[in-house]
Amino acid sequence: MTRLAGIILFLLWLPTAWGKTPVFEVEIRDHLFHPEEIHIPANTKVKLVVYNRDATPEEFESYELNREKVIMGGRKANIFIGPLEPGTYPFFGEFNPKTAQGRVVVE
């Protein structure tokens, strides 16, 4: 039984290990994105992990990337983006659009 469970776990783990979707991390602090600019490879799907270090909620939003996600204070969110053509794709925090600005540079 335990061996079966082990095999199942291994099989579940395999796609994540083989899928090798690159992971990029961004932090929101004082309504600013750190780093403001993320460089990702062209024509590749990547996973963006956004940590909201503020106490207030934020909404990660990008018209160019077609993405929108509420991130509560002190939480994190996974956002998959791409595959994308080379170029610059701006994103912003919808709750603090003046300060929370960043961009994904695809190269």
Query: Of 6 and 90, which CB lies nearer to other proteins in the complex structure?
Result: 90
Task: Give the helix ranges, DSSP H, for 33-105.
Answer: none
Find the part of the chain contacting other proteins (CB under 8 A) among 3-11, 22-30, 33-41, 58-66: 58-66
Query: Of 4 and 55, which CB lies nearer to other proteins in the complex structure?
Result: 55
Residue in 22, 56, 88, 105 binding other proteins, rule: CB under 8 A: 56
Query: Of 27 and 94, which CB lies nearer to other proteins in the complex structure?
Result: 94
Residue in 80, 86, 88, 105 binding other proteins, rule: CB under 8 A: 80
d(CA 62, CA 79): 11
Q: In residues, how long is the chain?
A: 107
d(CA 98, CA 32): 9
For the four alpha carbons of 33, 39, 43 and 49, in that order, the dihedral sign comes to negative
- Residue given tokens 């610059």 in the structure block: 88
Query: Of 41 and 57, which CB lies nearer to other proteins in the complex structure?
Result: 57
d(CA 27, CA 76): 9
The binding site for other proteins (CB under 8 A) comprises 21, 43, 45, 47, 56-57, 59, 63-64, 66-73, 75, 77-85, 94-98
